[in-house]
Chains A and B, each alone.
Chain A
Amino acid sequence: MEYDKILEDLLGRKEFLIVGKSIIRTDALDKALGRAKYTSDYIQPGTVVVKEVYSTHPHALIKRLDTSAALEIPGVLAVYTGADVPGENQIGYAMPDQPFLCDEKVHFIGDPIAIVCAEDEYAAQEARDAVVVEYDPLPANFTIDETLAKDAIHIHEGGNIALTSRIRKGDVEKGFSEAKVEVEGTYETPYQDHAYIEPDVAYAFPEGAGKVTVIGAMQSPFLVREKVAGVLGWNLNQVRVIQALTGGAFGGKDDTGPLVSAKAAMAAVKLGRPAALVYDRFEVTAYTPKRFPSRIHLRTGVDKDGMLTATKVDIKLDCGAYANRAPYWLWRQTVHATGPYEVPNVHVDGTAVYTNKVFGGSYRGFGNLAVHFAVDSHMDRLANELGMDPVELRLRNVLTVGKRTASNQLLDHSVGIEECIRGVAEASDWAEIRKPRRKGNKVRGVGIGTAHHGISTSRGAPDWSAASVILNEDGSFTYRTSICELGQGTPIGHAKIVAEIVGAKMEAFHIEIPDTDTMANARPTHGSRGLALGGTAAADAALKLREQMVNTAATLFECEKDRIDLRNSMASCKDDPSKKMAFKELAHEMYVRGANPAAYGFFTPPRRFFDPETGLGVSYPAYTFAATVCEVEVDLETGQVEILKIWPAMDVGKAIDPLLIDGQIHGAISHGIGIALMESIRLDAGEVINPNLTDYVIPSSMDTPEVAESILVEKPYRHSAFGAKGVGEPAIISIVPAISNAIYHATGVSFNTIPITAERLHAALRRGGQ
């Protein structure tokens, strides 16, 4: 079925009642009253306090591990090491390279070696310090070059390369020979910490001998279940995982959720008592996965007409100690390596390497932030060399329907990047504000950034989602998914889709928090899939329920099914206004007449071919596109950058809730400003030296620029409910190049490293530009 057509084809009407209109979030009041419950709010007095013992060496063999002194401390209940893990002592996400508790070797400062369990915070803290670990230190590799050196020590068996990726499309050498202008550059992006305000947390309690419940902050309850069951050596149905409201995640809690949950669960099961693991800000900042740093070398050619002829890309991805999400990250970077532009000849090599540092992980925008920073910087440099306007150069090469991506995927629909670029150029009055403006030491500049971002899993890997909707006896509805509420409000989007399809009022809905005991795996809240896939599973459930409702109403009203109208929680017959019934009555009739009042939705997008050898084929089912214009003012004396205004545009497929989308765009702008200008986790010999929010500075209200009204382009994706595409991740990608290109425009300095701090800019200006 083509889900974008639900409305016209099945509902028999053209206007939307709920979808497309902004509503007050269903969870906002509780949050505003301080009554919303996050994981730590569930923890009861008397809960066992769990803490981790972390490696203090970046790379070492564990010579001796002695827990006896720790166990003597009053209030200490247990200390568990790798030897105590009942199931598998392995918790790697994509590759089995990551011990759950290190028993032979540590790979970074912060690697977990043991967990201590105590009656209170103080005893746990004391016990953590009393665990004796003797190390045999090994040489450590901290940089990409160190780890790739011939004589470098191996961090994992099998060497320091975790994986590689490639694209071979056309003939790049021929492409470069046709180029009039070429530019080349190496672009580096740092670790970025998610800095969610709620620290990582998990609370576990045993239920009898063979069952454990975990409540936690996470993005994928079913991934957490799988990892907890693996560590315990249990079946999946012995582990119940509930995702409490989560105080921000941005990708990070997809990685940390399983790690903290499994530790709390192991303690709870072994001790037969409720147990909780709550991180402090230091642990969050120093030891949890970050945005993967990468180094991208790019060579791009363009002919005299401004048409791109060839792109050659070398991606070096720094995994840190474990591969974790690296395969997905690297492939995402690889197949997006040309940005949202058509290039006939493409050659990409990607290499993900291990180093002895905190490992990388999911973060909003995934690898695409780094890729688009590089590509869009090149577009401006090429435009400069050609003497062409940067917007014009982009428009000549931009992806449109009928064009092909870096991986040669033919785009046959849902491509709105051209409209995004034109939209922000027009809204910002591009031609006018690009004119040079300088007052004393202050000079203004304007730049544009663009983005494309694949939805769901890459390279045709299977993906699906599930959802459940129940019509209760009183006409109210209960909706459940395992797509998580992390602040972005995706489950509310699902409920709106369901409400639109079954013709209910939004007030009739209650959205249950995810609970793995109540439904089949709806898969994670990541990869920009929560709305596009999760919402379509919701639509599937809603369509099934609607059928039952329509059948019952048609019988009661003695009219044809296609003459039944459901709206505002009322059923009526279109031909006879006297025949109508509130959902409360309809629900009652359904229950007594044996019409199923509950429905289960399941959805998987169509899969198509991808060849990993050449890197060619269908990389993603669909793409979200975005463009941003940014205006900055640079102080030439100090190197200080002020962001004056941002104009955002996005092709969202279909806007389910414009206010929620605005929220995602605004939040992403802030994260983008953060990594473009100030945020960077700094390490010294593998140790994070700014592990708090004073030294790791994130944007505050003072850093908020003026943001123009979001331009929402709607090019529906055929296989998602109403055509919606994911927005939260793509929103960040075009921000960084828009900022750096604005600085380039203002100062003539094209940066290839972020963050562009005042010191860096000041130094570059003193060197005299380039």
Chain B
Amino acid sequence: MKVSFQLNGKDIEVEAPGNRALLDLLRDDLGVKSVKKGCENGECGACTVLLDGAPVTSCLVLAPQVEGRAVTTIDGLVDDPFMVKLRQAFLEDGAIQCGFCTPGVLISSYALLKGNPKPTADEVKKAIEGNLCRCTGYVAIIKAILHASERI
């Protein structure tokens, strides 16, 4: 079937079977490799993207569900001022190790700051609860998100 949606601000139309996960559609059919596959079961958050501005795990979203909606990956936020601040804080605070969780974590953090630019530490922890990171122990990630929020 044909699916039309907005990907990072651009209108696109792709052919996809009804049971195709958005994650696979993005990675394999559209070549968006920044979206990572860690579990395909909604458990790790590595595949997090924005669907109409809200973070979702793209492995659990089926292609037809994005019909007529807006999908945003970090590729679409490169110059966004919130993302620029987040990215800088992640770099400075050492919040990135292997980097496999990073795109997903940044998307969740971005969604948090968009809705709540001055979150508490507990709100930060809650916002990224669904993004597992096995490298950093979250300490630097939480710190970086709070730093970015201070600079907004």
Contacts and interface: CB of A to CB of B under 8 A. Distances in A.
Answer whether A and B are interacting partners: yes
Given A34-B75, A701-B141, A25 B134 contact: no
Contacts of B142: 701, 704
Interface string B120-139: 00001110111111111111
A707 B139 contact: yes
Interface string B140-151: 111000000000
Interface string A488-520: 110000000000000000000000000000000
Interface string B34-49: 1111111101101000
B74 interface: yes
A662 B106 contact: no
Contacts of B130: 700
Contacts of B141: 701
Main SS at interface, chain B: loop
B82 interface: no
Contact of A197 (B34, B41, B98, B124): B98
Interface in B59-116: 73-75, 78, 87, 90-92, 94, 96-103, 106
B97 A667 contact: yes
B33 interface: yes
Contact of A694 (B41, B78, B90, B100): B41
A615 B64 CA distance: 65
A248 B129 contact: no
A29 interface: yes
A426 B21 CA distance: 53
B7 to A, nearest CB: 14
Contacts of A698: 132, 134
B135 A34 contact: no
Given A33-B78, A34-B34, A702-B129, A28 B134 contact: no
B125 A247 contact: no
Chain A contact residues (Cβ within 8 angstroms of B): what range?
A: 35 or more
B96 A31 contact: yes
The 6 tightest CB contacts between A and B, nearest first, are A34-B34, A31-B99, A487-B98, A247-B100, A670-B137, A487-B97
A32 B94 contact: no
A663 B135 CA distance: 8
A155 interface: no
Interface string A19-36: 000101101111111111
A663 B99 contact: no
Interface residues of B, number: 49
Contact of B44 (A245, A693, A701): A693
B51 to A, nearest CB: 17
A666 B100 contact: no
A704 B38 contact: no
Given A662-B94, A693-B41, A197 B134 contact: yes
Contacts of B74: 33-34
A702 B126 contact: yes
A642 interface: no
Which of A30, A248, A250 counts the most chain B CB atoms within 10 A?
A248
15 contacts: A31-B102, A32-B96, A34-B35, A34-B73, A34-B74, A199-B37, A199-B39, A281-B38, A487-B99, A659-B94, A662-B140, A663-B94, A694-B43, A701-B131, A704-B138
Given A195-B134, A701-B142, A704-B137, 5 more contacts: A33-B74, A38-B36, A660-B94, A667-B136, A699-B138
A246 interface: yes
Contact of A487 (B28, B39, B135): B135
A692 interface: yes
A30 B102 CA distance: 10
A511 to B, nearest CB: 14
Contacts of B133: 197, 701
Contacts of A31: 96, 98-99, 102
Interface in A238-285: 245-248, 250, 280-281
A245 B98 contact: yes
